[in-house]
Amino acid sequence: MNTGNIKPTPIHKLDDNELSFLYVKREDMIPYSFGGNKARKALLFFEEIDKKGADVVVTYGSSHSNHCRVVANMAAARNIPCIIIGPEEVSDTTYNSVLMELFGAKIITVPIDKVHDTIEAELARLRGEGKNPYFIQGGGHGNIGTESYVRCYKEIKSYEKETGIKFDYIFFATGTGTTQAGLVCGQLMEEDDRHIVGISIARKNPRGRDVVLDSIYEYLDAKAFSYDKSDVEAKTVFIDDYTGDGYGKDSKEIENIIKESMIKYGMPLDATYTGKAFCGMKDYIKKNNLEDKKILFIHTGGTPLFFDFLNGMK
């Protein structure tokens, strides 16, 4: 599968009197490996991997990682070995980790402070064996990941043109930063006036926002696109009020949102990304009296994590 085979993901209005102003873009419906923003990014990464003739893929991520699941799947489909380097964790087996094993990925876990050195050592070892490894940063970080969400922004623009609906706010889960960076870059390039709001799933300000800004500047500079830094900063809204106890940590409120979403809309969310973002968005809307605005929530995927959530309910 390549990006040319991917149609724009659907946008639909939630059937809910309470949230009659809310639409959802279903990135979880990208037709590969449970979809999601990581599938959109990985498709672009593997186009480059194919062009460069890489014969091993190396990446980084935890046992919860949607990114690692998708990368391992795409590598297996091409009969390319995949090596995943991740931090040592105290956690139960996840569906994503089971899928990584199914895809034949080699998983190396090390103390988190040894991750960087382990990645460098593994890449050096592979090159010493005559291999041509390709390294993908955790979460699909980098200009390729950003580009994938510039394209997503263009899909949103096309939907607005076709339907006459103009979204005032766009909400989504933000983590390593390139999803948000791509959306902001798309907005800047289209010269749009709207609010793009990233709900952080782990990182706090100022680091979280700074990482997003760095990705924006890196992408725009590579495209030789002129910009005003104050304008970029004004458009980069990174909300860290809903991170809870950190990555992969939920709360009773998030659990209730996940249950409600599945029961009312038939839409799976998860406790690590989309559930946390949806919960934060609802609170943000209420606190800022946005009920008269047209709002789009980007569902960034993570269906296997929804089943982890169900397991945890037992």
DSSP letter string over 104-131? T-EEEEE-GGGHHHHHHHHHHHHHHTT-
Crossing angle between the packed helical segments 143-163 and 37-52, to the nearest 10 degrees: 130
First to last CA, the chain: 37
Is the pLDDT at 74 greater than 80? The verdict is yes
Burial class (CB in 10 A: 0-12, 13-18, 19+), 136: buried
Is the pLDDT at 3 greater than 60? The verdict is no
Where does CATH 3.40.50.1100 sit in the chain? 3-33+145-312, 39-140
Nearest of 83, 74, 4, 63 to residue 34 by alpha carbon: 74
pLDDT grade, residue 249 (50/70/90)?
low
Residue 193: how many other CB atoms lie within 10 Å: 9
The CA distance from 189 to 7, in Å, is: 22
Tell me which amino acid residue 76 is: A
Q: What is the pLDDT of residues 162-200, one digit of tens each?
A: 999 999 999 999 988 999 999 999 999 999 999 999 999
C-beta separation of 26 from 12 below 8 A: yes
C-beta separation of 24 from 297 below 8 A: yes
Predicted local confidence at residue 93, as pLDDT = 87
Q: What is the pLDDT of residues 217-243, one digit of tens each?
A: 999 999 999 999 999 999 999 999 998
Domain 39-140 falls in which CATH fold? Rossmann fold (3.40.50)
Going by C-beta distance under 8 Å and a sequence separation of 6 or more, which residues neighbour residue 153?
182, 183, 185, 186, 187, 190
Average pLDDT, the chain: 94
The CA distance from 105 to 97, in Å, is: 10
Nearest of 33, 4, 156 to residue 95 by alpha carbon: 33
Predicted local confidence at residue 165, as pLDDT = 96
CATH number for region 3-33+145-312: 3.40.50.1100
